[in-house]
Amino acid sequence: MFRKWGVFLSKSKQKSLNAPDLLLTISIFTLLIVGVIMVYSASAIWADYKFNDSFYFAKRQLLFAITGILAMFFIMNIPYLTWRKYANPILIVCFILLIAVLIPGIGLERGGARSWIGVGAFSIQPAEFMKLGLIVFLSTYLANNQKYITSFSKGFIPSLLLIFVAFGLIMLQPDLGTGVVLVLTCLVMIFVAGARISHFIGLGIIGLVGFLGLIISAPYRINRITAFLNPWEDPLGNGFQIIQSLYAIGPGGLMGMGLGQSLQKFFYLPEPHNDFIFAILAEELGFIGGTFILLVFLLLLWRGIRVSLAAPDTFGSLLGLGIIGMISLQVMINISVVIGLIPVTGITLPFLSYGGSSLTLTLCSIGILLNISRYAKL
Amino acid sequence: MKRVSNVTMRKRLVTVFLLGILVFTIITIRLGYVQFVIGDELMNRAQESWSRDIIFEPERGKILDKNGEIIAENVSAPTVMIVPRQIKEPQKVAEHLASILDMSVKDAYQEVTKKASIVRIHPEGRKISEERADAIRTLNLDGVYIAEDSKRHYPNDEYLSHVLGFSGIDNQGLMGLELYYDDLLKGERGTLSFFSDAKGHRMPKMADVYEAPVDGNNLQLTIDSRVQTIIERELDLAEAKYNPDGALAIAVDPNTGGVLAMSSRPNFNPEDYQKVDPDIYNRNLPIWSTYEPGSTFKIITLAAALEEEVVDLHEDEFNDDGSIKVGGATLHCWKSGGHGHQTYLEVVQNSCNPGFVTLGEKLGAERLFSYINQFGFGQKTGIDLQGEENGILFKPEQVGPVELATTAFGQGVSVTPIQQVMAVSAAVNGGYLYEPYLADEWLDPVSGQTISKTEPTLKDRIISEETSEEIRNALESVVAVGTGRGAYVEGYRVGGKTGTAQKVGDDGKYMSNNHVVSFIGFAPADDPEIVVYLAIDNPKNTVQFGGVVAAPIVGNIMGDSLRALGVERREDGLEKEYRWPDEPLVEVPDLRGLTKKDLQEYLVNLSIEANGSGDYIIDQAPEPGVKIPQGEEIRIYFDEEKPD
């Protein structure tokens, strides 16, 4: 049955390579299908109100998904080692874009942040590219310099410096969610590459001190934290989104209110097809639907780690880990926000949230992962 | 690639995966917590945020008297509703509304231009009269609606005002029974809830939920409006005649504790309660005021002395020389010079203070105060009204010979009128102390069926039937031959006791010429069916004696009430003993224009001194209508001609 995949593979490499990981592919398609349906369900009211077309967002999401899948299949056929070759130029382009987005006139301001470059539907988020670019670069760098990884000054510090420059630029937009995902993904890669645990402990202490420093210097930041601990203290301010999210999830119960039956999507939950789409999913499909999606994401993580374990070289391992780590961290953070486990950060749910550029890019990175899986030695 | 490094990487990759499982597990647990543990609470809160309620007000329960007569009801009182979006000429509409509703144009303009879907003009536009509502309807203004609403109506105005209390603009009980029984009277609001999106539009495909309002239950009181009417009338008359600082009257059924009537002055109209000093409606004098009861309290001393058998009213005697020395102090009788030699029955009839002091001494402080406590003094009676007072008694350690002596005739203790009524009821009903109550029955507002009925609450049995009978007889003789003669009602065997209590002034001393005069009576003496207490605070232009001011009023109340209640007349009562100035007077007839022959029939009761000659009477002295003692002479003048 693996042979079926052959239609998508260029003939010259067919003999020496495996088929791409099947379970990985199935879970991606499952998520995409559920995603398009949920985007429709969650956005229909909003879309009808705003564009007089309840399918407005769903149609676009479907288009993005198809584009994304095509891109995924295309990238799946590019040998992943190609990226190693272009790691430096990719990183440089990403940095240029990331700086360019900050310049008024080039970067578009949306919702108080300057995160987009381009025109209309063809705009992109440089920070999204930076995540991927940095993963490619870091995989290359760590694979090349693995013998130094245990060294604090030669291995640990240079990687960190690079990460924090990127993080700093992203925070200038500002886009805390993407920044956090980027840093955490890179830290996971450095950890797996073999850095000393003690270095991480040191880093943790510095991070904690820095965190306290930020709070002391600007006490309003504490509001975001208290808002998630007790959103009802400020139901119309900091607690608003999380309360509306919980009002969706809570009534969902075991079975949910039924597909399309959400009440919170009636303008109660702001932009229900974006960051908080999981809340609508849990409202309509209940605990069963929610855990099903969580299991699919866990399956994705498992297959990704498996690809990473079986990759033929360190670069492949780290690249695969970076990609699956980035996606999984985004999933964990998004859902934790939606169910009130952590403060609101502003991250979309991969494959499910509405959004063209991020969906396409996520599928492209899955394409890379699938390509690695074809070289896996299982 | 180094082998060792590869192993580390594999280990760490697995570690990362395990951490991932851990995070997903935590997320799943939290998801379950939100959906199962706090799910119901979130559901309730969410539904609150989804649903928009249109309120349907229930009708407040009516208040009825014992015979079903309505004493508090609801009348239609329309409310003005404004839908600002539909108003085209706000300035014009505001001017119209302002002139009809007595408000400023500026305020009205603000109301009609509010950014809200529906505006209720509060308070000017709420519960307005039908006339005003009609005036607004006639204008036929776009966006101005008249909505049905109701307000409390008390058809008898000031009648029973302190007991009824009043309710506020949202039909909430604020005072009196309206407050005490608010939960049962007010009913439950109904709602029409529809689910709405966050922009206020009705959500499609969601059914409306209608919960009908539940009307409040009707409250039937122990109050008998016939007795209440009599009491209100007598208080009005007393107020007009004596211009007192205050007045109050209570009538109870001594066999249940049910209050038949209760009123006080000054009073108020519950529909206009805002127009009077809050002190007037806050102070329900029959249960709130505390003062030295004076001689009415002697009934308690008498009851204790008889039950303890320390005195025989007919055999034991006492010589009153006008004062008695107690613990070095001299206590005077109210009658200077004293009552002289008396039996103890006469001591009671004369309300002789020194005589009662000896009764107190015979009982001793411990026994007397034990009875006072048992009769319910010093504690609330538990009547179903708010604002009841306790009264004050001497503390046991304070009681010396003087305190014992003054308490025995009703000074130095502070009690409420309702305490006295319930205590005397117990003294004359065979010794049963009941809890007074007003709410007799709760009725279903639709079917009129009884939902619940109050059973009389017996608190204590204090004295025996024999003692009680002796008290009744003694007190009947007080009315027949003693200080209470003003309360005598032919054929109804009224018993009772006068009281003239001194008031303590701001300086802590007794005020002179400022008393609370009172009378407590019951009838019929063989089987009491009503106990009436009346007190008048500082009556003007009269001798301030209970026997003079209060007893005749109670007599009127008794006579009319007993007839109204249909109590059978008695034959075997004590005859009233007439003394000066009690001798029945005769009204001088109009003899002018009569002839000598006509005069024959008047000669029975009158002695005539004739002047002049002729057949016709042309003048007389005294004038017709003047009252004169029997046997007094009337002078008449005769002439030949018949006068014009």
Where residue B634 sits, what CATH number does that domain have? 3.30.10.20
Select, from the ranges A262-266, B147-151, B234-238, B596-600, the one with the highest average predicted confidence (pLDDT). Answer: B234-238
Contacts of B204 in chain A (CB under 8 A): none
> Shortest Cα distance from A70 to chain B (angstroms)?
29
Q: Which two tokens stand for residue B7?
A: 């192993």
Domain containing residue B284: CATH number: 3.40.710.10
User: What's the pLDDT tens digit per position in A98-155?
Assistant: 999 888 878 887 777 788 887 766 778 889 899 999 999 999 999 988 888 888 888 7
Do B323 and B364 lie in one domain? The reply is yes
Q: pLDDT at position B2, please?
A: 41
Judge residue B564's burial from the number of C-beta atoms within 10 Å of its C-beta, 0-12 exposed, 13-18 middle, 19 or more buried: middle
Q: Which of A305, A315, A333, A369 is best to mutate for the B interface (most B CBs within 10 A)? A: A305
Query: What is the C-alpha to C-alpha distance for residues B287 and B265, in angstroms, rounded to an integer?
Result: 13
**Cα(first)–Cα(last) distance of chain A, in Å?**
18
Q: Are B342 and B318 in contact (CB under 8 A)?
A: yes
Q: pLDDT at position B302, please?
A: 94
> Shortest Cα distance from B47 to chain A (angstroms)?
9
Report the pLDDT averaged over residues B31-48: 90
CB contact under 8 A, B199 and A335: no
**Pairing of the two strands B616-621 and B633-639:** antiparallel
CB contact under 8 A, B35 and A301: no
User: What's the pLDDT tens digit per position in B63-81?
Assistant: 999 999 999 998 888 888 8
Q: pLDDT at position B605, please?
A: 53
B295 catalytic? Reply is yes
Domain containing residue B140: CATH number: 3.90.1310.10
**A266: amino acid identity, one letter:** F
Q: Which two tokens stand for residue B569?
A: 């007349």
Residues in a beta bridge with B438:
none
Diameter over CA atoms, chain B? 165
Q: Which of A33-37, A91-95, B178-182, B446-450 has the lowest mean pLDDT?
A: B446-450
Report the pLDDT averaged over residues B298-304: 94
**pLDDT mean across residues, chain A:** 87
What's the predicted TM-score (pTM) here? 0.60
The single residue listed with the structure tokens 């040998």 is A79
Backbone angles phi, psi at B147, to 5 degrees: -105, 145
**pLDDT mean across residues, chain B:** 86
DSSP letter at B209 equals E
Tally C-beta pairs within 8 A across A and B. Answer: 126
The single residue listed with the structure tokens 């000066």 is B580
Non-local (6+) Cβ contacts of A220 within 8 A are none
Is residue B573 in a domain?
A: no
Q: pLDDT at position B69, please?
A: 92
CA quadruple A44, A47, A49, A52: dihedral sign: negative
Nearest CB to B34; choose among A45, A314, A340:
A340
Q: Are A297 and A168 in contact (CB under 8 A)?
A: no
Spatial CA neighbour of B303 closest among B434, B442, B470, B166: B470
Nearest CB to A309; choose among B13, B21, B50:
B13
Is residue B380 in a domain?
A: yes
Contacts of B49 in chain A (CB under 8 A): 247, 268
Do B196 and B337 lie in one domain? The reply is no
Do B217 and B237 lie in one domain? The reply is no
Q: Which of A39-48, A97-106, A212-221, B271-280 has the lowest mean pLDDT?
A: A212-221
Report the pLDDT averaged over residues A164-168: 92
Is residue B301 in a domain?
A: yes
CB contact under 8 A, A192 and B195: no
Do B33 and B74 lie in one domain? The reply is no
**Domain limit, last residue, from B180, B197, B221:** B221
> Shortest Cα distance from A312 to chain B (angstroms)?
11
Report the pLDDT averaged over residues B610-638: 76
Q: pLDDT at position B202, please?
A: 67
User: What's the pLDDT tens digit per position in A285-304?
Assistant: 999 999 999 999 999 999 99
**Domain limit, last residue, from B530, B564, B598:** B564
Report the pLDDT averaged over residues B367-383: 94
Contacts of A194 in chain B (CB under 8 A): 5, 8-9, 12
Q: pLDDT at position B207, please?
A: 66
Which one has a higher pLDDT value, A115 or B630?
Answer: A115
User: How many of the other CB atoms lie within 10 Å of CB of B19?
Assistant: 11
Model confidence at A163: pLDDT above 60: yes
**Domain limit, last residue, from B531, B564, B597:** B564
Please indicate if any CB of chain B lies within 8 Å of the CB of A146.
yes
Give the model's confidence band at B33: pLDDT under 50 very low, under 70 low, under 90 confident, else very high: very high
CB contact under 8 A, B34 and A194: no
CB contact under 8 A, A286 and B35: yes
Is residue B282 in a domain?
A: yes
Report the pLDDT averaged over residues B623-634: 70
Query: What is the C-alpha to C-alpha distance for residues A72 and A91, in angstroms, rounded to an integer?
Result: 21
Do B406 and B514 lie in one domain? The reply is yes
Which one has a higher pLDDT value, B101 or A70?
Answer: A70
Residues in a beta bridge with B262:
B250
Do B215 and B304 lie in one domain? The reply is no
CB contact under 8 A, A332 and B24: yes
Q: Which of A6-15, A243-252, B449-458, B530-539 has the lowest mean pLDDT?
A: A6-15
The number of angstroms, rounded, from the C-alpha of A174 to the middle of its chain's C-alpha atoms is 17
Do B359 and B333 lie in one domain? The reply is yes
Backbone angles phi, psi at A173, to 5 degrees: -70, -45
Query: What is the C-alpha to C-alpha distance for residues B376 and B252, in angstroms, rounded to an integer?
Result: 16
Is residue B554 in a domain?
A: yes
CB contact under 8 A, B23 and A301: no
User: How many of the other CB atoms lie within 10 Å of CB of A219?
Assistant: 8
Is residue B581 in a domain?
A: no
User: What's the pLDDT tens digit per position in A60-90?
Assistant: 999 999 999 999 999 999 999 999 999 999 9
Q: Which two tokens stand for residue B494?
A: 């009224």
CB contact under 8 A, A249 and B31: yes
Is residue B45 in a domain?
A: no
CB contact under 8 A, B9 and A194: yes
Residues 259-278 of A with CB under 8 A from B: 263-264, 266-268
Q: pLDDT at position B1, please?
A: 38
Model confidence at A8: pLDDT above 60: no
Q: Which of A228-232, A264-268, B150-154 has the lowest mean pLDDT?
A: A228-232
CA dihedral B442, B444, B450, B453 (to 10 degrees): -20
Do B487 and B368 lie in one domain? The reply is yes
Do B538 and B595 lie in one domain? The reply is no
Do B444 and B499 lie in one domain? The reply is yes
Q: pLDDT at position A1, please?
A: 41
* Strands, E assignment, B68-110: 70-76, 79-82
* Strands, E assignment, B96-167: 119-120, 144-147, 150-153, 166-167
Q: Are A325 and A188 in contact (CB under 8 A)?
A: yes
Domain that holds residue B625: 586-639
Q: pLDDT at position B14, please?
A: 94
User: What's the pLDDT tens digit per position in B574-602?
Assistant: 777 665 555 556 677 777 777 776 665 55
Q: In chain B, what percentage of residues exceed pLDDT 70? A: 93
What count of Cα atoms within 13 Å lies in the side-chain half-sphere of residue A54?
10
Please indicate if any CB of chain B lies within 8 Å of the CB of A291.
yes
CA quadruple B31, B34, B36, B42: dihedral sign: negative
**Cα(first)–Cα(last) distance of chain B, in Å?**
154
Please indicate if any CB of chain B lies within 8 Å of the CB of A301.
yes
Please identify which of the residues B264, B295, B414, B561 carries the catalytic annotation. B295
Contacts of B45 in chain A (CB under 8 A): 247
Give the model's confidence band at A324: pLDDT under 50 very low, under 70 low, under 90 confident, else very high: very high
Query: What is the C-alpha to C-alpha distance for residues B609 and A142, in angstroms, rounded to an integer?
Result: 149
Query: What is the C-alpha to C-alpha distance for residues B425 and B427, in angstroms, rounded to an integer?
Result: 5
CB contact under 8 A, A332 and B23: yes
Non-local (6+) Cβ contacts of A113 within 8 A are A173, A174, A175
Q: In chain B, what percentage of residues exceed pLDDT 90? A: 43
Residues 184-213 of A with CB under 8 A from B: 188, 191-194
Query: What is the C-alpha to C-alpha distance for residues B458 and B461, in angstroms, rounded to an integer?
Result: 8
Q: Are A338 and A348 in contact (CB under 8 A)?
A: no
> Shortest Cα distance from B35 to chain A (angstroms)?
4
Spatial CA neighbour of B142 closest among B112, B105, B107: B112
Give the model's confidence band at B4: pLDDT under 50 very low, under 70 low, under 90 confident, else very high: very low
Q: pLDDT at position A346, please?
A: 82
User: What's the pLDDT tens digit per position in B489-510?
Assistant: 888 899 999 888 888 777 777 8
Do B347 and B409 lie in one domain? The reply is yes
CB contact under 8 A, B28 and A294: yes
Q: Are B123 and B38 in contact (CB under 8 A)?
A: no
Is residue B46 in a domain?
A: no
What would the DSSP string read from start to end of B567-589?
A: PPP-SSPPPPPP-TT-SPEEEPP
Do B626 and B520 lie in one domain? The reply is no
Query: Structurally, how many domains does chain B consist of?
Result: 4
Model confidence at A6: pLDDT above 60: no
Contacts of A268 in chain B (CB under 8 A): 49-50, 197-198
Contacts of B23 in chain A (CB under 8 A): 332
